Amino acid sequence: FTKKGYYIAGVPENWERHYGFRWFAEGYPCDTPNHKAFQEEGKLGTFTGKFEFVSESLLYWAPHDETRTPIATYKRSWEGHHSIKAKKYPFHLISPHPRFDYHTQHNSSTPWFWEIPENRVYINGNPYLVARIHPTKAKEKGIKDGDLIELFNERGSVLCVARVTYRVEENTIHAYGSSGIYNPTEPGKTTMEIGGCVNILTPGRLIGDMVPGMAPNSTLLDVRKYEGEIPDSQCFEYKLDAVAKAADPDAATCKEIIEGHGFEKIQEKAKKQYLMKGAAAK
């Protein structure tokens, strides 16, 4: 590692491993990260200060909220394999946090991540996101590993590259969320997208009545092999850059912003305008 110039993170000599909740079990002060550090010593951050099978805080704050009950219970998803919608869209989309980047960071601005075969695959100059499908369902759909496939529902459609694998269940599609690139071929909410932004297929509904959280894994869709013309690698916003440049030669283009150079262009433009105003004032 040192010969190749890699940095090796050092470990303090007095470092000790700490186990969550051992302090509570053995009765000594909390020695793990605690968001409620000023609670009563020796107690957890619950209403009772103990582990709770029935949440006393939910009983107090939201006793009538059926979407988030005080005791953990299984509730069928409003958009899952058990819903009526599954007859039209039989595949359940699983879009977990990305493996190769941090949410949207380092995705659109770090192109060498696109060279990872399990992340993206280049076709006609465009880095398509990888979507995983079970071999049985792939065979039924006439899909082979490496084919362009279209994930679609009533909210839109996204082109991806198929990865045929037993890693997923038969009626499940796996594709990492937070693509960092929104690349529609044409304007419009339901237009085809080629940047891998599977987030556009997810519902806008919140998890519960009093839970302001998104539900990206409660998403149904269908999949088919893409037989159409392979889209231009440039997105709709890029195509508008020529118009923007004609109107303002100093404008930062969509391409420059996405590639991480737009901020410098904006600074240059602001500096030029500042100097022009100063000259006019004199």
Residue 161 contacts residue 149 (beta carbons within 8 Å): yes
Ranges of each domain in the chain: 84-225, 236-281
Residue 89 contacts residue 171 (beta carbons within 8 Å): no
* The CATH number of the domain covering residues in 84-225: 2.40.40.20
Q: Looking at residue 177, what is its pLDDT?
A: 85
- pLDDT tens, the chain, 282 aa long: 677 777 777 888 888 888 888 888 888 888 887 766 656 777 888 888 889 999 999 999 988 888 888 998 888 888 999 999 999 999 999 999 888 888 777 777 677 788 888 999 988 888 899 999 999 999 999 999 999 999 999 999 999 999 999 999 999 999 998 777 788 888 777 889 998 999 999 998 888 777 778 888 889 999 999 999 888 766 555 555 655 566 666 665 655 555 555 455 555 665 666 566 555 555
CA distances, 202 to each of 67, 85, 93, 95, 211 (Å): 19, 14, 9, 9, 17
Q: Looking at residue 95, what is its pLDDT?
A: 92
Q: Looking at residue 186, what is its pLDDT?
A: 80
Residue at token pair 């997810």: 202
